[in-house]
Amino acid sequence: MKKRFILGLIAIVLAGCKNDVKPIHSKSSSEKQNEFAIVIHGGAGTILKENMTPEKEAAYQATLEEAIRVGYEILKHGGSSIEAVQKTINVMEDSPLFNAGKGAVFTNAGTNEHDASIMDGKTLNAGASAGTKTVKNPIDLARAIMDNSPHVMLSGSGAEAFAEEQGLNLVKPEYFYTESKFKSLQKIKNTTHVLLEYNPKKAFYDSTIKDSKFGTVGCVALDKNGNLAAGTSTGGMTNKRWGRIGDAPVIGAGTYANNNTCAVSSTGWGEFFIRAVVAHDISALMEYKGLSLAEAAKEVIQNKIPKLGGDGGIIAVDKNGNMVMEFNTAGMFRATMNDKGDLIIGMYND
């Protein structure tokens, strides 16, 4: 009797495991869900209700809504997903709340160094910039690199010279100063100093991860012509050194779009997102293994990334207008709008 019970239990567990690895093709995910759709994130990390004031919460909510409505209006009036992604990200880059553009975090040297990328799912064209210090809206630079240069990725002073040639908005580095981000740097530096005596490599990352809220911004969109686009913009990680570049400007890691599958923008611990090639991996799981977007995103964010030791999340939309926001952190600033204009905003892990 007991033996049969145990065998039964094993059979149930095995059946459960099988379901985990086998793609489930839900009918709904392969049918057109939305004629157009847009999803944004404002970074994943330790975003807890108990650490938020009502004013802060309202400010985040208002900026997320303002940003996504800009993209929504473009899509509603037949504009391209690329345009929607760029203009939506511009709003978040101009806000001091997020770690992109105006609100970028500080490097170990006390500078602000921006990374950004954008990708067009129709042509697989892409543009990316890394380590710029004077470009007001790095996503505009990524777009200009994609449209007007023979290259995909430009960095540092060369990228800034190209931005100037393109007539983009350049600012003095002081424009990017925000008190809260500067204080975060001081706090991390103090902690790191103590931990450095123990283990230099680990200390740098541990203290950085624990004490800095992320706040990278990203946007993915599907337009009425069935074209997908994705973009990501960030100041990277507080206290970064040695010209560190994260995943945000790395096509396939921080950003990816392909009309055959989906558009993805990542946020989280960039080193792991580069190693796991997160954004392209989600697309590849759909293209080569037949997984739905939700299944592919779950596999990469809840299984692959934590196994490596990283954390973070993604937003994505597929060619049928299915929207996904997957994260393994305590929260992620996020919002979606479907073709009916329904708006959903989220911050915490609920």
- Return the residue matching tokens 């690329």: 82
Among residues 209 and 285, whose Cβ is nearest to ligand ASP? 209
Q: CB of residue 295 vs ligand ASP: minimum separation in angstroms?
A: 23
* Residue 339 burial (CB count, 10 A): 18
Looking at 81, 216, 261, 336, which residue binds ligand ASP (CB under 6 A)? 216
Looking at 236, 252, 310, 321, which residue binds ligand ASP (CB under 6 A)? 236
Q: CB of residue 35 vs ligand ASP: minimum separation in angstroms?
A: 30
Q: CB of residue 236 vs ligand ASP: minimum separation in angstroms?
A: 4
Q: CB of residue 32 vs ligand ASP: minimum separation in angstroms?
A: 31
The yes or no reply on residue 246 touching ligand ASP (CB under 6 A) is yes
Instruction: Give CA 217 to chain center in angstroms.
Output: 6
Q: Which amino acid, residue 249?
A: P
What residues contact 151, with CB distance under 8 A and at least 6 apart?
Answer: 145
3-state secondary structure of 10: helix
Alpha-carbon distance of 190 to 144, in angstroms, equals 39
- In terms of Cβ atoms closer than 10 Å to its own Cβ (0-12, 13-18, 19+), residue 201 is exposed
Contact string (CB under 6 A) for ligand ASP, positions 30-49, x = contact: -------------x------
Looking at 103, 268, 310, 321, which residue binds ligand ASP (CB under 6 A)? 268
- DSSP-based helix, strand, coil % in the chain, nearest 5: 45, 20, 35
Q: Given 63, 192, 216, 255, which residue is catalytic?
A: 216
Alpha helices in 49-123 (DSSP H): 54-76, 81-93
Among residues 8 and 306, whose Cβ is nearest to ligand ASP? 306
Q: Parallel, antiparallel, or unpaired for β 343-348 and 37-45?
A: unpaired
Dig out the tokens for 249 from the structure.
């400007």
Looking at 255, 267, 328, 329, which residue binds ligand ASP (CB under 6 A)? 267
Its sign, for the CA torsion 72, 76, 77, 80, is positive
3-state secondary structure of 151: coil
Q: CB of residue 312 vs ligand ASP: minimum separation in angstroms?
A: 6
Is 216 one of the annotated active-site residues of the chain? Answer: yes
3-state secondary structure of 40: strand
Span interacting with ligand ASP, options 7-15, 78-86, 195-203, 230-238, rule CB under 6 A:
230-238
Span interacting with ligand ASP, options 156-164, 176-184, 192-200, 232-240, rule CB under 6 A:
232-240
DSSP track, 244-288: ---STTSBTTTEEE-TTSEEEEEEE-HHHHHHTTHHHHHHHHHHH
The yes or no reply on residue 132 touching ligand ASP (CB under 6 A) is no
Nearest CA among 246, 318, 310 for reference residue 282: 318
Among residues 71 and 246, whose Cβ is nearest to ligand ASP? 246
Among residues 216 and 320, whose Cβ is nearest to ligand ASP? 216
Looking at 93, 211, 247, 326, which residue binds ligand ASP (CB under 6 A)? 247
Looking at 234, 261, 322, 328, which residue binds ligand ASP (CB under 6 A)? 234
The yes or no reply on residue 237 touching ligand ASP (CB under 6 A) is yes
Q: CB of residue 247 vs ligand ASP: minimum separation in angstroms?
A: 5
Among residues 115 and 120, whose Cβ is nearest to ligand ASP? 115
Q: CB of residue 155 vs ligand ASP: minimum separation in angstroms?
A: 14
Alpha-carbon distance of 60 to 42, in angstroms, equals 9
Interface positions, 89-108, toward ligand ASP (CB under 6 A): 99
Which chain residues interact with ligand ASP by CB under 6 A? 43, 99, 214-216, 234, 236-237, 246-248, 267-268, 270
Which residues belong to the active site? 216
